[in-house]
């Protein structure tokens, strides 16, 4: 079994994040279904409709609104996930990481941290993000990012859309 560092080295040069364009939209909408499925484990508010699908109109917003940046995550030319970034245009933070998703096949291989490092290289500034308080894997991931990068961050408990959450703010220079 390869160590985490060996896996990171294996994938580091093969992971790419770029802004998605309209031709990527349907694939990202399909991947968003898996994201919502995973997220539904931590909330009672996500339910499927009569066709057995989650509402994924949020994806359209990221392609239609100027202050949103839809990004695709690729490994060896295959789209394996996404980041939906909100460029909040000079408010308390510069960017809000709305959603991040990587297919399960590619998880626990260090790809998430590679993606975050590449995101921070592309978009330095003040960041904010919110995780559901029940989503312990996401909270653990972000704490490990803060620790690995020796980042100072503010963390507080909030209620967002009726859900107990943790909000974090930090700066990438």
Query: Domain coordinates of the chain in residue numbers?
Result: 4-123
Strands, sheet with 78-87, edge to edge from the N-terminal-most edge strand = 15-19, 68-75, 78-87, 95-102, 125-132, 163-172, 153-160
The reported pTM is 0.90
| Residue 4 pLDDT > 90 | no
- pLDDT tens-digit readout, 100-135: 999 999 999 999 999 999 999 999 999 999 999 999
Q: What is the pLDDT of residue 56?
A: 74
Question: Is residue 39 within a helix (H) or strand (E), and if so which, with residue range?
Answer: helix 25-39
DSSP per-residue letters across 126-156: EEEEEEETT-HHHHHHHHHHHHHTT--EEEE
Report d(CA 115, CA 103) in Å as an integer.
Answer: 13
Q: What is the pLDDT at residue 102?
A: 97
Whether the per-residue pLDDT at 9 is higher than 90: the answer is no
> Are 156 and 139 a contacting pair, CB within 8 Å?
no
Q: Is the pLDDT of residue 8 over 70?
A: no
Decide: 39 and 135 in contact? Cβ < 8 Å: yes
DSSP label of 52 = S
- Render pLDDT for 42-63 as a digit per residue (tens, 0 to 9): 999 999 999 999 987 789 999 9
Please state which CATH number belongs to domain 4-123.
Answer: 3.40.630.30
| pLDDT confidence of residue 6 | 66
92 falls in which pLDDT band (50, 70, 90)? Answer: confident
Provide φ and ψ at 22, rounded to 5°. Answer: -60, -30
Q: What is the pLDDT of residues 13-23, one digit of tens each?
A: 789 999 999 99
Q: How confident is the model at residue 84 (pLDDT cuts 50, 70, 90)?
A: very high
């Amino acid at each position: 079994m390869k160590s985490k560092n060996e896996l990171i080295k294996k994938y580091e040069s093969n992971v790419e994040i770029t802004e998605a364009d309209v031709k990527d939209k349907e694939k990202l909408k399909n991947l968003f279904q898996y994201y919502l499925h995973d997220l539904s484990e931590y909330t009672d508010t996500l339910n499927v409709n009569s066709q057995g699908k989650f509402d994924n109109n949020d994806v359209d917003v990221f392609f239609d609104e100027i202050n949103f940046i839809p990004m695709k995550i690729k490994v060896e030319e295959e789209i394996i996930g996404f980041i939906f970034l909100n460029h909040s245009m000079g408010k308390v933070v510069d960017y809000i990481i709305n959603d991040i998703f990587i297919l399960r096949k590619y998880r626990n291989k260090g790809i998430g941290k590679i993606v975050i490092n590449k995101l921070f290289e592309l978009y330095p500034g003040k960041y904010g993000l919110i995780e559901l308080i029940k989503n312990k894997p996401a909270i653990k991931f972000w704490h490990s990012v803060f620790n690995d990068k020796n980042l100072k961050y503010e963390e507080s408990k909030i209620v967002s859309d009726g859900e107990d959450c943790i909000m974090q703010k930090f700066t990438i220079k």
